[in-house]
Amino acid sequence: MDYKIGTNYNGFVLVREENIKEVNSIARIFEHEKTGARLLHMENDDTNKVFSIGFKTPPEDSTGVMHILEHSVLCGSRKFPTKEPFVELVKGSLNTFLNAMTFSDKTIYPIASQNEKDFFNLMDVYLDAVFYPNIYKTKEILMQEGWHYDLEKKEDELTYKGVVYNEM
């Protein structure tokens, strides 16, 4: 397919195109007209297909909320309302890479697969997770991933629990 600078493709306008010899790829930068989101597309003959979506998530305090949020959006979404779609993907997909990472100022959700159908499915699950997470409907998700008090029997001592809390 031939792309033209300034043309809108499914809501994304092509801003720049360059042949990058070192990695045998044509790189294209698009900008989403509605949101200003930037899209980098690398076209080449590699059988590996990689996709990642990232957000600027500078923290406002030291509660770890951006890391908790990263986990929480992968706990069910509009199209994939299961409790742990991420865990199911890890088990049931042909992915060659699947993860999510929170850095000091950004959060990214990368996936990779050599199988095209699997690749598009992974992308679908991740995009639905980040744009339509169930955290708005189910407040327990944030508690489960963040921290909560835990008490099995009333004579026990009160402890803290939480997925990200334990991870850190």
Chain residues binding Zn ion by CB under 5 A are: 167
Cβ closer to Zn ion: 28 or 71? Answer: 71
Nearer to Zn ion, 46 or 167 (CB): 167
Question: Of the listed 145, 152, 157, 167, which one is catalytic?
Answer: 145
Look up 70 and say whether it is catalytic.
Answer: yes
What's the angle, vertex CA 138, arms to CA 135 and CA 139, rounded to 5?
80
Taking the complex as a whole, the smallest distance from the CB of residue 79 to Zn ion amounts, in Å, to 23
Spatial separation of the C-alpha atoms in residues 36 and 34, rounded to whole Å = 6
Nearer to Zn ion, 100 or 122 (CB): 100
CB 130 within 8 A of CB 109: yes
Which residue in 17, 31, 60, 70 is the catalytic one? 70
**CB-nearer residue toward Zn ion: 26 or 168:** 168
Nearest residue to Zn ion, using CB?
167
Alpha helical stretches, state H, 16-115: 65-72, 85-92
Tell me how far, at minimum, the Cβ of 159 lies from Zn ion, in Å.
20
* 145 has catalytic annotation: yes
CB of 167 to Zn ion, least distance (A): 5
Q: How far apart are CA 95 and CA 154, in angstroms?
A: 45
81, 134 Cβ separation under 8 angstroms: yes
User: Which residue, among 15, 53, 45, 52, has the nearest Cα to 33 in the 3D structure?
Assistant: 15
Active site residues: 70, 145
